[in-house]
Amino acid sequence: MTYSTIRFAEDGAVATITLNRPDKLNSFTAHMHEELRDAVASVRDGRRARCLVLTGAGRGFCAGQDLSDRVMGEGSQPIDLAHTLSTYYNPLVMALRALEMPVIAAVNGVAAGAGANLALACDIVVAARSASFIQAFCKIGLLPDCGGTYFLPRLVGTARAMGLAMLGDKLSAEQAAEWGLIWKAVDDARLMDETMSLARHFAGQPTRGLALIKKAIQASHDNSLEAQLSLEAELQRQAGRTRDYREGVAAFMGKRPPRFTGC
């Protein structure tokens, strides 16, 4: 598939998707969703990638839904937003969460509305110091979607989640890092270097093990301690059967660096 609203690149075992509608701060259109779906599926189904990076072209990361196709005339039928969410946004969030490798959001600029929550759906968020996060939904009469009401209270607690969602204020990358909303804020000029060095690190690690970490941490929010202990045991059984576990132990015992293959 040739893409016009995103760019897709693979460098070794690192895949990068760049949202690419910079004039509109990379806001989502149906077409962009279709291209993203295709690119994420090719990362999932291909055999090469062991880490995915998601970023934005130009000065923004993503300004959420493109509102220009949401303008309703007086007396016109409202668009069914649940349909938009269940067709496009929800499958995207689920696909990123289920991807069996680390997904890094490199937030290069403003991340607003569904754009902010797309970043929060990723496993690790690195943001440029000048970037910001805005739960813009309340300003147009909506509630946070794209997982916002799930991720926000889990990441920063109810009080901050409520404030962010109800006020729609701009949260700086540094404040977001201090609050634990994201992994870290870095100097603007260092964003892609730091992100790519992290991505290359992940791509050389035991990918199956990282995917199982992701699965366990995601499940922990909804599990009792007992259920989580059982899940850890089951996932550890799977991890213990990987070649990378065998290699990790052998390398440690042999006092040499490990050579992980992701299997």
Interface positions with ligand LHQ (CB under 6 A) = 24-25, 27, 63-68, 70, 81, 84-85, 89, 110, 112-114, 134, 136-137, 140, 142, 145
Distance of alpha carbon 184 from the chain centroid: 14
Three-state SS at 5: coil
70 vs 246, beta carbon nearer ligand LHQ? 70
The least distance separating ligand LHQ from the CB of residue 121, rounded to whole angstroms, comes to 13
Q: In what order do the strands lie in the sheet with 60-62?
A: 60-62, 110-112, 132-134, 170-172
Min dist. Cβ of residue 80 to ligand LHQ (A)? 9
Q: What is the closest distance, in whole angstroms, from the C-beta atom of residue 210 to ligand LHQ in the complex?
A: 29
C-beta closer to ligand LHQ: residue 70 or 221: 70
Do strands 132-134 and 170-172 pair parallel, antiparallel, or not at all (unpaired)? antiparallel
Closer residue to ligand LHQ in complex, CB, 151/202: 151
Q: Would you report the helix, strand and coil content of the chain in percent, each value rounded to 5?
A: 50, 15, 30
Residue 135 C-beta: closest distance to ligand LHQ, Å:
9
CB of 230 to ligand LHQ, least distance (A): 36
Instruction: Give the nearer residue to ligand LHQ in terms of CB position, either 2 or 68.
Output: 68
Angle 30-45/90-98 helices, nearest 10 degrees? 20
Q: Give the residue nearest to ligand LHQ (CB).
A: 64
As measured in angstroms, the least distance from the Cβ of 85 to ligand LHQ is 5
Tell which phi-psi region holds residue 216, choosing left (phi > 0), alpha (psi between -120 and 50) or beta. alpha
Which of residues 117 and 242 has its CB atom nearest to ligand LHQ in the complex?
117
- The three-state secondary structure class of 24 is helix
DSSP 48-85: S-SEEEEEESTTEEE-SB-GGG----TTPPPP-HHHHI
Q: Which is nearer to ligand LHQ, 69 or 193 (CB)?
A: 69
